[in-house]
Structure 1
Amino acid sequence: MKDIIPRKIDPLDHQKESLGEKFRRNNPTETPYAVDSVIYSHAKTHELADFITKHNFINKIVFNLGLFSILILSATFIIISLSIASEIYRFKDSVMSSGYKGMRYLELAKNNLSSFDLEKSSLYFKKSLEEFNNADNKFSKAKLITAPASVIPFASKYEKNAENMIIIGKNISKIGIEVTDFARQNPNSKNDPKETIYKIESRLPQIMQELDKIDISLSKIDTNILDNNIAPKVEKMKVVFPKIKKYVALGNQLSLQLPTITGLAQEKNYLLIFQNNNEMRGTGGFIGSFGILKMKDAEIKDFYVDDIYKLDNPYSKAVAAGKAIYVAPPLPMNPASTGNWALRDSNLDPDFSKTAKNIISFYKTETKYAENNKYPERIDGIISVTPTVLEKILKITGPIKLDDYGITINSGNLLETLQIEVEAGKDKQDSKNPKTILGNIKDKLVTKISSLNTQETKQLLFSMLEMIDEKHMLIYSTDNEIQKIADALNWTGKIDNKPNDDFLMVVNNNFGGGKSSLKVNEDLQQEIIIKEDGSIIKNLTITREHTSDYLYKYYDPWAKREMWLVGINKNYIKIYTPNGSRLIKAEGFENKIDIYNEDGKTVFGSEFSLAPKEKKTAQISYELPFKINPDNNIAKYSLITQKQPGSLGSKLKTIIKIPDGMVTRSFGGNIEKKQESFNGILSTDLFFYLTYSNKNH
């Protein structure tokens, strides 16, 4: 959001000034401010980190889950309230004085909350509430005095606006008091996590009540009589508020699940899946390692990392011996080269909410045959991460020195250094577990994270929120209620299935073991042609370029041959489209187009491999299974473009062509520049829509 910039009011310019400006001119002890503010979609996350950074590791997790949406609220409404401060108290200077002081105290509270001074922030929230209560009392008296004037519709509208803004100011202040007082009661790591969780549960219902009051008052504000500079901000607030309220409600629901999530009632076992996005698969990358995280009484009781082949190899031997049932791998995998389907390949479906069930099923089957089985039988949830997450963490913690291996890893060399060590390093040469190094890295990282200062912890939190948003971290819970909340927060990598929306998701699967996916750049261009009869044709152009040479030749002591770490990108591409889409033509792919249904979508698939330094382009055209039917002569086209988990983001260009004789009426969605053509990096899921009608309509 933009900074709040002080602007001195010219005392000579009396004729154009508003009543609010007149009040400030006549009250020089009050600092005059003009406010210009804009709410961005991600602003809610930046207040959160300021709040929780003074707590220990477990309490940070608890606060993140329980107070996420409360902090969204403070920053958003304080800024909007400040934006309309000069317009809401036009009746009596005494009412204006209290209202303006209330707004100023809210600004001071917000500034101190941002700088993490909870004492001062709490004080100013309480002062703002006091002033809004004063304004409310004075306003009630003023209404009695001006009762004859209030029957005039125009004056009555101003009165109602002022009354509702006072109510909003009071309830913002109450929420601020709840947040800051709660934080001040938990200033260090000595607090019992269980007590913290129960306090969150008890306070959130009160927050919801204050939100309901704000919602009602906001809906009653008439923006038609507000200043032209202020009315759009209030209209934006009306649009944004339901989303904010939704997230607060989800936070409330999530807080009720905290005892379950953190193992207060029963110990919880979480399966960690490490997906190597340098060897892309449906939900992020080849599963080369896994871990077990055990929680009891809101504390981590055990945490270890292991090689995926500790489960896959004994299982495959059991299948070969006829002791376990053979399961054929799904297309496009070749059973002749991969053998039976196993945990390492269980993530070809890009919908993680479905893939997670496959992962748990394979885990439960394979642990039965594991040697020295130390793994818990019950799994309560899955947390999936890619190496990109570790790179982000290392940027904050700094490098890690691994004396046993004689190497130092940092955010710049993590992937290549780690992969060379795993494929041909010390442990593999000694016939030991080549993934042992991951456990050493885990121990070092935990130590470094626990010693981060406040600013570094804030940066870490921001990075993790970004990683969730970009699907480098995915969540799954076996508890249906928790999973529903995670779905609503878009944490589960679920494929969207809204009816009558256009849809695109391009998914790459790197087979053959080559660690080359992050060396390939991908450009997508989708041209959407809407015909006069409402039918839709899409022309999709995919350009992929392998930017690397052959790199890192090594001798594999187990395979007993030389290999390239970075070589041919042996790739199978899957294009997810609305269910029932009809293929028109395709060119540039290696083989014929496979057509099948998956995740409620029609999928077009084919091989699309690249040698080092090679660049290829392919095109595919298809017709969508529905037509656009105008409603009251207004037609609407909607598009959802989803990002593959683990991808660093393809370049995306979208061109929409509406029928001749039609004109675009409106745009919407989460893209920054709303027009018929737009481009950018597909780092998160995108939603876009436009409406159009006849020029003469």
Structure 2
Amino acid sequence: MHSHKQNFIFKPPKRKLPEHLSFLGNVLVVSLRLLPYLFILFICLIVCLLIIVAAGVVPHYASLKNVYVEAQLGQQHMLTAEAQVREYEFAKAETELQLAKESFVEAQKSLAVVDDSFLMKSSYLRNQYDVASDVLFIGEELANSVNGLCVIGARAMDAVSDKNMSFEKIDATTKGELLAVLISSMNELKDVRRNIGIVGEKLREINTKQPLFIFDKVVDPLQAKIPQIEKAFDASLSFLRALPWLTGYPEEKTYLFILENNREMRPAGGFIGTYGIFQVANAEIKNFYTDNSYNLDVKVKDTQKIPAPKPMEKYMAQPNWFFRDSNWWPDWPTSAEKIAWFYDQEGGTEKLDGVIAITPTVIEQLLGFLGEFEIGGLKFNQQNFWEQLQYQVEYGYYKQGIDAADRKDIIGDLSREMIKRLYSYPISQWPALIDTISKSVKEKHILIYFFDPLAQSVSVENGWAGEVKPNPGDYVMLVDANLAALKTDSVMARTMVYNLHENKDGAVLAETRVNYQNMGTFTWKTTRYRSYTRLYVPEGSQLISVEAGGKVYKPEDVDTVNEFGKTSYAVFFEVEPQTSKEVVWKYQLPNSIVEQIKNGEYQLLVQKQPGIEKMNLQLNLNFSTEVRDLGVEEQLNALDISKKAKKQESKQIVKQATVLRQDQEYSVWFNAKK
């Protein structure tokens, strides 16, 4: 049953029935889209072979013609299968894929006839023949692999019976059957993943055979897409491993739910204004209760004497520590454990399986998918959600005569309506929802922590964990903690400039400059910005100086801490409304970074704080060694990222500008010194 108390959301969007049907459809479609490239390649192949015919291969004309005909048939069957997959008609797609496979096999047989031609004595022509044979093999393997996915998809659809069926119309027994199908499909998916890996190896082998330029237009796109499919399979397999914990199958699970207000930043995502408990079994929410966090803290405010972190005591005049402030670390696993501990200390009785947090940004994105809602005479949509809700829980409730303890009940009313509409959506409309959820996870607006070690390892693999990541190379993470600055993060803009250079003594010096712009005014929700800010850098770095607005901090005013395998330098500063302030950290990187550069490689991981929506990022990397190559590793497909960093004419400087919405990794490789 759903409690009237602030039924916030959101586990329903994460119910995995539609997600995995969506996954199967998406992977199938991506895979099938590769086949038109194969068809073009077959045409190029025939043109080349016809030229060879003029040199004396007329006896093989019939075989070559059959290669062309069978390749055409295979391509047509794949296109038909693609259309059927889009309609979730997996059984029909299976038939088409089997026919496609047979066509590719026949094409290979016909091509093999040319193998004994005298022209194959030429190593160059032999290579081209091998390339053509490899591509036909790839076509066969892709058809076979996608067919394996269709078998799983067909079993899943047999359980659901109708792609237009909504979540609310699927009974508990059917949900259990579907979950059993998905979980039991892991071994089959592993087999498909191995086959896709073989395809990837074949593509890499093609490059060693000096293929004709006409092959490049086909092979290059294939080589770009196959790794994407491999990653999709890896993510799916990891997800399936976590399915029992996420869906409560076969055993019911209980989670502590946290709403972090990222307009009032705290290290792990935002101020904890709302908490809740939800229980899930067989992908159904059995109970969902949420409440104002202050209602939990007020019960122990006179008896709980847990010392607050020193910055809270100093800058907020708050000597004691409570549940609402327990997410003090940017490492979500660490904060999640402390949140659960405080919940237990303040009266929580449930045996928890994990802690899941979201920010209001998630709600806004969901409203973009679900549309507008009217609750208690107030309209909520993607554009006005936060402003409307914030005013209601700060002032509107009082004008309506609502008790302060119940002022956030409107969230429960909204959540019930969102869940109701969500459950009424047919499965065929859920892929867009899955995209919305995935975006929130990638940008660390959804954080998941499991107490079970196996489940937690899966959370880390999938990028759900929000942990401070281990990294052997260079590292930067900016972490703000809004201390008594209302909701001023809603009007703050941040720009980080990271400068690096090697001095004449061989030391590597770093400078991180962060400009904070307060675009607000003095209102009921915004004021001067007050932040206790930590900069995490490689462990063993040596601080040179920190300054804010031109004022240099004394060493005793900089808090230096080693944690999470990093070193952090923390300072407190204020930014008045309609002004900006630049905070600058200068430090020397440890010798391990120096040695890596000497060994020909430099790596930089920039992590985004959970809850921050975006931050401008500029890199200026000045090396003493000539740069050979650059790489930008998109952490979970980061948005707004330029694909290639710029290498300057000096060949020793790398510059990059982007909007950081999620973790980003950079690699630089150097030429050997002469």
TM-score (norm 1): 0.80
- Tell whether the 8 Å contact from 1:531 to 1:658 is kept in structure 2 after alignment: no
- 2:516 aligns with 544
Question: 1:217/1:472 Cα in 2 relative to 1: closer, same or farther (>3 Å)?
Answer: closer
Residues in 2 aligned to 1:137 and 1:203: alpha-carbon distance in whole angstroms: 33
Mapping 1:278-677, distance limit 5 Å? 278-319=263-304, 326-334=305-313, 337-367=317-347, 376-403=349-376, 406-426=377-397, 430-452=403-425, 457-499=430-472, 501-512=473-484, 514-531=486-503, 534-551=506-523, 564-588=524-548, 592-628=557-593, 635-659=600-624, 662-670=626-634, 671=641, 672-675=643-646, 676-677=654-655
Deviation sequence 1:159-185 (CA, Å, 0-9, x none): 433333333222322333343452542
Deviation sequence 1:633-659 (CA, Å, 0-9, x none): 862111111111111111111111121
Which has the higher mean CA deviation after the structures are superposed, 298-307 or 327-336? 327-336
SS at the partner of 1:537? strand
- Tell whether the 8 Å contact from 2:269 to 2:610 is kept in structure 1 after alignment: yes
Mapping 1:227-246, distance limit 5 Å? 227-228=212-213, 230-231=215-216, 234=219, 237-238=222-223, 241=226, 244-246=229-231
2:638 equivalent to 1:684: no
- Tell whether the 8 Å contact from 1:470 to 1:684 is kept in structure 2 after alignment: yes
Residues in 2 aligned to 1:139 and 1:458: alpha-carbon distance in whole angstroms: 41
- Tell whether the 8 Å contact from 2:256 to 2:277 is kept in structure 1 after alignment: yes
SS at the partner of 1:493? coil
TM-score (norm 2): 0.82
Deviation sequence 1:388-420 (CA, Å, 0-9, x none): 1111112232222122xx322222222222122
- 1:45 aligns with none
Deviation sequence 1:346-366 (CA, Å, 0-9, x none): 112011122111111111221
- Tell whether the 8 Å contact from 1:165 to 1:217 is kept in structure 2 after alignment: no
Mapping 1:30-69, distance limit 5 Å? 61-63=15-17, 66=20
Shift of 1:215: 2.2
Residues in 2 aligned to 1:527 and 1:631: alpha-carbon distance in whole angstroms: 18
Question: 1:664/1:128 Cα in 2 relative to 1: closer, same or farther (>3 Å)?
Answer: same
Aligned identity (percent) is 24
Structure 1: state its 5+ residue gaps.
Answer: 1-56, 320-325, 369-375, 552-563
Residues in 1 aligned to 2:414 and 2:361: alpha-carbon distance in whole angstroms: 15
Shift of 1:339: 3.5
- 1:51 aligns with none
> How many pairs align?
609
Residues in 2 aligned to 1:436 and 1:312: alpha-carbon distance in whole angstroms: 17
Mapping 1:132-281, distance limit 5 Å? 132-139=104-111, 142=113, 146=116, 152-181=122-151, 182-183=153-154, 184-185=157-158, 186=160, 187=162, 188=165, 189-190=169-170, 192-220=174-202, 221-223=205-207, 224-228=209-213, 230-231=215-216, 234=219, 237-238=222-223, 241=226, 244-281=229-266
Question: 1:59/1:206 Cα in 2 relative to 1: closer, same or farther (>3 Å)?
Answer: farther
Instruction: Tell me the amino acid that sits aligned with residue 381 of structure 2.
Output: N
Residues in 2 aligned to 1:398 and 1:457: alpha-carbon distance in whole angstroms: 14
Pick the structure with more helix per residue. Answer: 2
Residues in 2 aligned to 1:294 and 1:490: alpha-carbon distance in whole angstroms: 23
- Tell whether the 8 Å contact from 1:273 to 1:382 is kept in structure 2 after alignment: yes
Residues in 2 aligned to 1:355 and 1:180: alpha-carbon distance in whole angstroms: 41
Shift of 1:208: 2.3
- Tell whether the 8 Å contact from 2:481 to 2:532 is kept in structure 1 after alignment: yes
Which has the higher mean CA deviation after the structures are superposed, 642-651 or 617-626? 617-626
Residues in 1 aligned to 2:539 and 2:592: alpha-carbon distance in whole angstroms: 13
Residues in 2 aligned to 1:309 and 1:352: alpha-carbon distance in whole angstroms: 22
Shift of 1:139: 4.2
Higher relative contact order (CA 8 A, sep 6+): 2
Question: 1:113/1:571 Cα in 2 relative to 1: closer, same or farther (>3 Å)?
Answer: same
Which has the higher mean CA deviation after the structures are superposed, 684-693 or 271-280? 684-693
Instruction: Tell me the amino acid that sits aligned with residue 684 of structure 1.
Output: Q
- Tell whether the 8 Å contact from 2:31 to 2:146 is kept in structure 1 after alignment: no
Deviation sequence 1:452-485 (CA, Å, 0-9, x none): 4678644332221111111111111112111111
Residues in 1 aligned to 2:366 and 2:531: alpha-carbon distance in whole angstroms: 29
2:60 equivalent to 1:87: no
Which has the higher mean CA deviation after the structures are superposed, 581-590 or 644-653? 581-590
Question: 1:504/1:632 Cα in 2 relative to 1: closer, same or farther (>3 Å)?
Answer: closer
- Tell whether the 8 Å contact from 1:84 to 1:230 is kept in structure 2 after alignment: no
